[in-house]
Structure 1
């Protein structure tokens, strides 16, 4: 008798979960067919077409099309000319050479490389709560434990420094700092970053700095890269073109090694180089356009985008402050706003996910529940939608809150 087939998915694949996709894509209800669907859930600044990349970037890519080099295989860590361009772009953060740069398939791969090279299965990494869910997706698939440190909404989402230090143990391999923050929109001061560096130095803990939103800073806040002020803590900076240059679909990111005291062993650098061999380098066409992109796009382009985001933040904050039962928190950067849902004022809903599902079915608006960021009783909205759509969304959210608080008052 033939042996029966028995094929199972690998442990890594079973342990790899994406919280946002798992929750949002499994929503059972349908939007209200009588109202246009407004997705305030999409973390893509280009989704509505109102924000477009700079012409200088587009022209650089057009020129790259004509270069034979853009069609060839390249080094797994990226073409030398492209890595040099990134190194020069980050010269203000400290001395960086092309050898300190790895080009990646988006910032997501940079994070994957950083986590994978620093942590072993069974070790843990520290990640912010609320924070970007991809850290958990990457780590848990590899058998690396996630430990959360808390952010403080009443202090513009600063790190709870005591709570951070309390999470560190002898199995902690790295600390992830997300600045500016997704989903919070926080931008840390230089003083606060120095406090984080002191804790990291005390415990000999390397930092993975997720700075993909480095261009997204509003309301006169200033972005400071951790690498620019670190004297002795080794840092892997992860960033890319995705958000600031408005080309998320082009998947061009990078990892930059900042290690002033040569604390990272050659083993770490060799490990990163080895890991790049798994995907054989990112899009060569975009690589060959990097030098022109990073030197010709004017500051006025970024200023214009940030002016729009700032205006949108003011609008959403003002309108949603009038929604009964909600407490919006004005962001300092990124492209999101976190909103507290005072669930005690909506006892007809079990949790914020049920609140969001009902709002989706009645008002055709989809937001991201706080559960996706390990932070219940909140929801996240994006600010990059066109102004008239954001106004309409805020009006519908206000109406939804009024409707359901009124229902509860009638019950009593």
Structure 2
């Protein structure tokens, strides 16, 4: 016989997942109470959205593809949870090269790359296990894992070597409970691009300890002149890899929420459970945006190379401009990126004795100069700030000049003599 619960008051608690989900970037940014300088236009070098200022727009062919998808009337209903066959075929063709051939059955379409990462972490790791993430690294990895009761361990990147992975540190983090290693290449927040040889070294460690890799490659092909992007799966023979990417960054349409997972599993290691698990998890969102799925074949096939080249040229020019100027500012040391949309800048806090942390530095700069950068704490890497280089050129120049003024005022060795030294001139 059923019994009625004895309740005489409301007692509704959040779930463990909700309580344990924490986004460091959102938490830090939303708790900054400092107001910008009302006399200066706000310049946000903090937002990893290339569309924010309107200077970077998707290709005309991309827009036309979506218009045709809408007007066809064929993509208004539900799609299979892993995506329409034609859309998955288009992703498979786009992601294949001379070293790796992608089969459409290995493609799972997702609601953005963050959804792809979520599915991969959820499929590979159980509560109590751990995943390895880069430091500095994008905070979403920690947010997704810890909310599920999965522990996070960090391996260090080396700024003095272009943010390559400290291989000894990576190996030291692996234990019997390690379920996966996340490799982000090209990198957010570092803008680094790993060489083929370095990727091979990472794969050798993963193979030795039988640990699969989640490859966050959302910035694939967004590399500057002189560097090359190597998909991790194009090098791997033994290590199973779940590669995550999408339209977001390269095609300048983050709000369209179109990402994908590609299962690279030459030794059929994942076939027993993980492949089915990913398919089951994809059913939780009942598939990704169908209008964009309908446009995917045309987007991936018809976007001209000149569009990609022009975006890279702009980002490269902006990165050189920012690097050239900031490297002359006392107390700051930028690290020139090789790709993506970001630059990490070291703050020598010993030169700015009134600030105890990168967060205080950022808050004060926002208050005085209305320039906002993300503090290194957002990426588990204190004493740095991350700059986004997608802003229009004139705004980037103005931001650099304001950062210069701020540092000169607060630098303990130059603040007293800055009037004699004069202002550093910016070249562009």
Q: Normalising TM by the smaller chain, what interval?
A: over 0.9
The answer for the alignment partner of 2:426 in structure 1 is none
Alignment equivalent of 1:72, drawn from 77, 86, 89: 77
Are 2:90 and 1:85 aligned? yes
Alignment equivalent of 2:145, drawn from 124, 134, 139: 139
The answer for the alignment partner of 1:124 in structure 2 is 130
The answer for the alignment partner of 1:379 in structure 2 is 385
Cα distance, 1:5 vs structure 2: 1.1
Superposition CA RMSD, Å: 1.3
Cα distance, 1:298 vs structure 2: 1.3
After superposition, where does 1:394-405 map in structure 2 within 5 Å? Answer: 394-405=400-411
Judged with a 3 Å threshold, the aligned counterparts in structure 2 of structure 1 residues 289 and 202 are, in CA distance, closer, same or farther, namely same
SS in 2 for 1:174: strand
The answer for the alignment partner of 2:336 in structure 1 is 330
Q: Deviations over 1:84-110 (max 9, x none)?
A: 111111121512211100000000000
Separation in 2 of the partners of 1:67 and 1:269? 33
Are 2:218 and 1:191 aligned? no
SS in 2 for 1:59: helix
Q: Deviations over 1:252-290 (max 9, x none)?
A: 000000011111133111100100111001110000000
The answer for the alignment partner of 1:10 in structure 2 is 15
Cα distance, 1:3 vs structure 2: 1.4
The more displaced of 294-303 and 191-200 is: 294-303
SS in 1 for 2:202: helix
The answer for the alignment partner of 2:35 in structure 1 is 30
TM-score by length of 2: 0.94
SS in 1 for 2:75: helix
8 Å CA contact retained: 1:347, 1:408: no
SS in 2 for 1:135: helix
The answer for the alignment partner of 2:160 in structure 1 is 154
8 Å CA contact retained: 2:389, 2:396: yes
Task: Count residues with an aligned counterpart.
Answer: 411
Separation in 2 of the partners of 1:185 and 1:79? 33
8 Å CA contact retained: 1:346, 1:408: no
After superposition, where does 1:160-199 map in structure 2 within 5 Å? Answer: 160-199=166-205
Cα distance, 1:71 vs structure 2: 0.4
SS in 2 for 1:237: strand
TM-score by length of 1: 0.98
SS in 2 for 1:257: strand
Judged with a 3 Å threshold, the aligned counterparts in structure 2 of structure 1 residues 130 and 2 are, in CA distance, closer, same or farther, namely closer
Residue ranges of structure 2 left out of the alignment (5+ in a row): 1-5, 417-428
Residue ranges of structure 1 left out of the alignment (5+ in a row): none
